[in-house]
Amino acid sequence: MKPELLLKRLREFLPPESILSEREDLNPYESDGLTAFKQLPLLVVLPETEAQVQQVLRLCHAEAVPVVARGAGTGLSGGALPLTNGILLSLAKFSRIEHIDPLARTARVQPGVRNLAISEAAAKHGLYYAPDPSSQIICSIGGNVAENSGGVHCLKYGLTVNNILALRVITIEGEMLEIGSTALDSAGYDLLALMTGSEGMLGVITEVTVKLLPKPERAQVLMAGFDSVEKAGAAVAKIISAGIIPAGLEMMDKLAIRAAEDFVHAGYPLDVEAILLCELDGVNEEVSEEIKRVHTLLQEAGATTLRTAQDDAERLKFWAGRKAAFPAVGRLAPDYYCMDGTIPRKRLPEVLKRIHEYSVHYGLPVANVFHAGDGNLHPLILYDANKSGELVRAEAFGAKILELCVEVGGTITGEHGVGVEKIDQMCVQFMSHELNLFHALKKAWDEQTLLNPGKAVPTLHRCAEYGAMHVHQGKTKFPDVPRF
């Protein structure tokens, strides 16, 4: 369909201010948080009602126009990268908290609601929403569902998939679906789990029902410093193997520590190679007992410094440094490439050593920030896109880290999704018959593959080309961003 005709059709049911077509208006939508990939959409639409979303999707289905749904645009895998011949469907105006039920401990919210806003609204009832990505102050709940986001408290309380109960979803044909329920179980296949983490490829989410948890009676954080990242990694395994499940167990290496301390002044020690932040929560007596046990375990693991937050203000200060790690590291170099992979906890010391070796090989520094308790790695590769070859080296470095995760029994993503960034590494993790199943699922929901095409699941042809590059040339091919 010609752009001018598509624009005319959209204006039949959308107000003028809900359609963006001029280049200067499209520029803010050219990428998500992964700024290495950029391209302008054909058009941007900002509907305000479910009926308008249905009309947009029905039009796109009838005219075979691709659609990319977008939330706050904070994703880090290129999942919301627009299409040059398609519509970018922004859910930014779906920003209402519809209802909070303090007795059932649930909240119904629109997809554009910020993650942190849910906890802020529930606080007066003594409740909160557990998944807390570092970007929680700005990321939207719809995007959290699309990417199955986690956060520092996912070790004990789970990822997004473990904290939602129901979704309202509109298919590419414009059909409204209600998936899941507030009951303990639902009949039929678990479509709620299928939709969570599907990266906008199966439907457009217009409402989310989340679980709320009571605020714990007490939460306290220990901060331990180590003279090597290997010792810090071993300490993680020691805590978990002792049968203790912290509310949060996070790790940062020396480069990340220095950046965060300079940025936030959280009180981190600067004479260590790594720190662990271990938060324990629950009833007062339980926390007191576990604090003692973890303190002993950290000493046995070789901690050179140990501090316990004395009050809630100090606890929040410790966490402020960790949650600001990404922007803090951004002050160390013109650009950084944020990776996201997951490994078995017992392989953490080995993987950290290999990442350091890769850093030397590619000549690029790396700051390591981890959800250490569940093995979710976030290496931040520092580079300068203005220097010839550095972006290519950063991408190659990142690919090696992801393939290392698979090699040791892990996965190429923990919470950021696949998008366009990791699509080649899907070829490493999955066999052809598995990829065929993924494509069959996609076709069952979206026969013309109009929703976020080209993302998350590679074609077998692409995998064959990627494998050939590895086998015959010993290096990874990093093509230009695909122009759909």
Strands laid side by side in the 87-90 sheet: 19-20, 43-45, 87-90, 67-70
In this structure, are 132 and 189 located in the same domain?
A: yes
On the question of pLDDT at 13 being above 90, the answer is yes
Q: Are 40 and 26 in contact (CB under 8 A)?
A: yes
Share of the chain above pLDDT 90, in %: 88
Given pLDDT bands bounded at 50, 70 and 90, which one contains residue 185? Answer: confident
In this structure, are 339 and 453 located in the same domain?
A: yes
Residue 180 lies in a domain: yes
In this structure, are 129 and 28 located in the same domain?
A: no
Q: Are 192 and 202 in contact (CB under 8 A)?
A: no
Residue 370 lies in a domain: no
Name the residue range of residue 45's domain: 3-90
Among all chains, which residue has been given the structure tokens 């409740």?
127
Give the β-pairing of 176-180 and 248-253.
unpaired
Calculate mean pLDDT across residues 387-397. 95
Q: From CA 204, how far away is CA 201, in angstroms rounded?
A: 8
In this structure, are 304 and 341 located in the same domain?
A: no
Q: From CA 330, how far away is CA 325, in angstroms rounded?
A: 9
Can you list the positions of beta strands (E) in 343-412? Answer: 366-371, 376-383
Residue 479 lies in a domain: no
In this structure, are 306 and 404 located in the same domain?
A: no
DSSP 364-381: --EEEEEEGGGTEEEEEE
Exposed, middle or buried, 471 (CB in 10 Å: 0-12/13-18/19+)?
Answer: exposed
Q: Looking at 75, 90, 105, which one is the last position of a domain?
A: 90
Q: In the numeric block, which tokens belong to residue 294?
A: 């973890």
In this structure, are 403 and 464 located in the same domain?
A: yes
On the question of pLDDT at 71 being above 90, the answer is yes
Q: In the numeric block, which tokens belong to residue 285?
A: 């007596």
Strand partners, 345: none
Q: What is the DSSP letter of 210?
A: E
pLDDT of residue 196: 97
In this structure, are 448 and 340 located in the same domain?
A: yes
In this structure, are 167 and 222 located in the same domain?
A: no
**Residue 143 belongs to domain with CATH number:** 3.30.465.10
Q: Looking at 51, 69, 90, which one is the last position of a domain?
A: 90
Domain count, the chain: 4
Residue 482 lies in a domain: no
201-252 residue pLDDT tens = 999 999 999 999 999 999 999 999 999 988 998 899 899 999 999 999 999 9
In this structure, are 171 and 281 located in the same domain?
A: no
Q: Which residue has the higher pLDDT, 230 or 482?
A: 230
pTM value is: 0.92
In this structure, are 409 and 425 located in the same domain?
A: yes
Q: Are 401 and 367 in contact (CB under 8 A)?
A: no
Alpha-carbon torsion (88, 169, 450, 74), positive or negative? positive
Q: Looking at 47, 67, 90, which one is the last position of a domain?
A: 90
**Residue 266 belongs to domain with CATH number:** 3.30.70.2190
- CA torsion angle 291 293 297 298 (round to 10): 10
**Residue 65 belongs to domain with CATH number:** 3.30.43.10
pLDDT of residue 473: 37
Q: From CA 294, how far away is CA 239, in angstroms rounded?
A: 7
pLDDT of residue 470: 58
Residue 419 lies in a domain: yes
In this structure, are 322 and 233 located in the same domain?
A: yes
260-296 residue pLDDT tens = 999 999 999 999 999 999 999 999 999 999 999 999 9
In this structure, are 227 and 279 located in the same domain?
A: yes
Residue 17 lies in a domain: yes
On the question of pLDDT at 475 being above 70, the answer is no
Q: Reduced to 3 DSSP states, what percent helix, strand and coil does the chain have, rounded to the nearest 5?
A: 40, 20, 40
